[in-house]
Amino acid sequence: MKHDSSQSHSLSVLIPTLDEAAWIAHSVRCARASLRAADVDGEVIVCDGGSQDATVVEARRFADRVVECAPGRPAQLNAGARVAVGDVLVMLHADSLLTPRAVEAMVAAVERGAVGGWFQIDIIPDLQVGHRHLHLGWMAWGINLRTRLFRTATGDQCIFCRRDAFEAIGGVPDVPLMEGNLCARSLRGHGSIEILAPELRISGRRWEKNGVLRTMVFMYGIRAAHRAGVSEDVLARVWRGWSR
């Protein structure tokens, strides 16, 4: 898919990291290769929040730029956005992989007038596991159904938006958890959004580590508690305890 130069957009892919040495090189290389294959101008910026492993070293080998900043995904993404030059900002988790068709889909959505959007997903095995749990396919199906029905997203669904929309909503909200959900909600209130086909590959490591059913129940419980008004600070403490 080629894009007319009069309608061309440049993408800045922002990848927040904290101790992601096992994934970051693969993620950055996939993002850069996808931009090239789709014939779309772009850059890949790694926004590191103080990694103690080799994340920064690996990122500097492949990324266009590495920004070192305070920890916390909102702060990291906002720091990356401040130095980005693209007119479309793409917020990609370190254990997620872009594809050329994903890049093409984002550009096409913006050209159709969307202020932004996000992806349905395909869950792939963790790099360190190497096999796919059968239930990961069902997990992806459930997430995609929820995404279509409620037009919502979590941060790992690669939320993207025009720079002017990002600035209009005040960037990524500075909360310790659920920032992706809140960002998606703000974008939805700002203009037209598009929910794209599952051209995004995300790691199944959290499900493989803690069990598919247990992880599903926990994550939906977190979302339900957030909708019921439980504060992001409380939920973040619960999340950290679960993630240990």
Domain ranges of the chain: 8-208
Band the pLDDT of 1: cuts 50, 70, 90: very low
Report pLDDT for 54: 98
The predicted-structure confidence for 29-57, as pLDDT tens digits, reads as follows 999 999 999 999 999 999 999 999 999 99
Report pLDDT for 19: 96
Report pLDDT for 5: 40
- At the topology level of CATH, where does 8-208 sit? Spore Coat Polysaccharide Biosynthesis Protein SpsA; Chain A (3.90.550)
Report pLDDT for 244: 64
The better pLDDT of the pair 241, 197 is held by: 197
Residue 197 predicted with pLDDT over 90 = yes
DSSP helix, strand, coil percent of the chain (3-state; round to 5): 50, 20, 30
Report pLDDT for 94: 96
- Asked if residue 71 lies in contact with residue 92, where contact means CB atoms within 8 angstroms, the answer is no
Mean pLDDT of 102-108: 98
Residue 199 predicted with pLDDT over 60 = yes
Mean pLDDT of 201-211: 84
Residue 230 predicted with pLDDT over 80 = yes
Report pLDDT for 55: 98
Mean pLDDT of 138-150: 92
Torsion of CA 220, 129, 197, 226, to 10 degrees: 20
Which among 57, 49, 50 has a CA at the least distance from the CA of 22? 57
d(CA 138, CA 200): 16
The predicted-structure confidence for 7-30, as pLDDT tens digits, reads as follows 589 999 999 999 999 999 999 999
